[in-house]
Amino acid sequence: MTGELSPIDKAKFVAAKRAADMVEDGMRVGLGTGSTAAWLVRHLGDRVRDEGLRIKGVPTSARTAHLAKQVGITVIPLDEAGTLNMTIDGADEFDGDLNLIKGGGGALLREKIVAAASEEVVIIADAAKEVGTLGAFPLPIEVVPFGWTTTQILVEELLVSADVMGRRITLRMNAGKPFVTDEGNYILDLHLSRIGNARQLAMALNQMPGVVENGLFVDLCDKVIIGYSDGRVETRDINEGTVSEDRIDFAETENLFSDI
C-alpha cells in the first residue's frame, strides 16, 4: 500500500503513525482536519480494529467526523468530552517555537477550540511545513458573513501598522461561491509573506468586530512530529526541550488501508 504513495504522502503517513502510537486506551482525543490528520484517523481506526483500542474522538470538522465513523472510532461532541487528553492535528506552517499557521483546510475555529481544550497538542507534518518565520502560507481568518467586506477593510487598515511584509487579502472561494466553514462563516486569506510578531497580530485580529478567529496558533502546540518519505520521524517536544528520532518500517504497514 505505502509503495503506491507519493513521497509527501509517505512523510505524512509515518508522522501520523508515530502520533497514533502515542494514543492510550481510554483517552479522549481531538482529531484534526486535513490530509495528514486523515492518515492519523485511519491509523487510529486500524488500532481500534486490530487491538481493540477504546478511545473517544472529538473531530474538528464534519469531514473528519465522517472518516472517523467510517473507520470505527467512537465520535463524541466536545461538549460531552469537556476536556481532552490529547489532540493530534496537522499544520500549514510551524516555526522553531512550535507556533503555527493553521486553517488551510478551513477548520481553524473548531481546531483552535479543540486544541485549547487539550492537555497535550501534537502536530504532525512533513518537513516542508517548517519555516524560520511564519507567513509564507496565507494566514486564514474566519469572519462572520454579515458585513464581511467591511471586516476586510478594517483588517486591511490594521495590517498597515502590523509587522508584516504583504497586505493582500482574498476571500476563499469554492466552486465560484464563498467557501463556508462548518460554523457557517467565511474565510479571508491574508497574504502576508512574513509575520514579524505572531502573538501581537493574533491578538489584534481577534479584537476586530466580525473576526471570529485567526489561524495563528501561538503557545498551543506541545510536540511536533515531522515525517520523512524514507520512514524517519523526528519528535520535538517544546516543554522538555528534547528532540528524538526513529523510523517506521513501511514493510510492517503493507496491509494497512488496503481499501483506500
Of 45-53, 107-115, 148-156, 183-191: span binding ligand 5RP (CB under 6 A): 107-115
Q: Which of 30, 59, 106, 231 binds ligand 5RP (CB under 6 A)?
A: 106
The answer to whether the CB of 199 falls within 8 A of the CB of 206 is no
**If you search the block for the grid coordinates 499557521, which residue do you land on?**
101
Compare residues 26 and 34 and give the one whose CB is closer to ligand 5RP.
34
Give phi and psi for 196, each to the nearest 5: -70, -40
The crossing angle, in degrees rounded to 10, of helices 35-51 and 7-21 is: 50
Q: Which of 108, 115, 143, 233 binds ligand 5RP (CB under 6 A)?
A: 108
**Is 102 near ligand 5RP (CB under 6 A)?**
yes
Tell me how many residues contact ligand 5RP (CB under 6 A). Answer: 18
d(CA 74, CA 39): 17
Q: Which residue among 93, 111, 142, 213 is the active-site one?
A: 111
Residues numbered 117-156 forming contacts with ligand 5RP, rule: CB under 6 A: none
Write down the least CB distance from residue 107 to ligand 5RP, Å: 4
Q: Name the grid cell of 175.
A: 466552486
35, with CB counted inside 10 A (0-12, 13-18, 19+), is middle
Compute CA 41 distance to the chain's CA centroid, rounded to the nearest angstrom.
Answer: 13
d(CA 136, CA 23): 32
Compare residues 39 and 250 and give the one whose CB is closer to ligand 5RP.
39
Residue window 14-33: x/- pattern of binding to ligand 5RP, with contact defined by CB under 6 A: ------------------xx
Write down the least CB distance from residue 12 to ligand 5RP, Å: 6
Compare residues 13 and 250 and give the one whose CB is closer to ligand 5RP.
13
Whether 157 is a known active-site residue: answer no
Write down the least CB distance from residue 2 to ligand 5RP, Å: 17
d(CA 166, CA 159): 9
**Is 223 near ligand 5RP (CB under 6 A)?**
no
> Phi-psi region for residue 84, left (φ > 0), alpha (ψ -120 to 50) or beta?
beta
Write down the least CB distance from residue 72 to ligand 5RP, Å: 22
| Order of all β-strands in the sheet with 93-94 | 93-94, 100-101, 216-217
Residues numbered 58-97 forming contacts with ligand 5RP, rule: CB under 6 A: 89-92
Tell me the catalytic residues.
111
Chain positions contacting ligand 5RP, by CB under 6 A: 32-37, 89-92, 102-108, 111
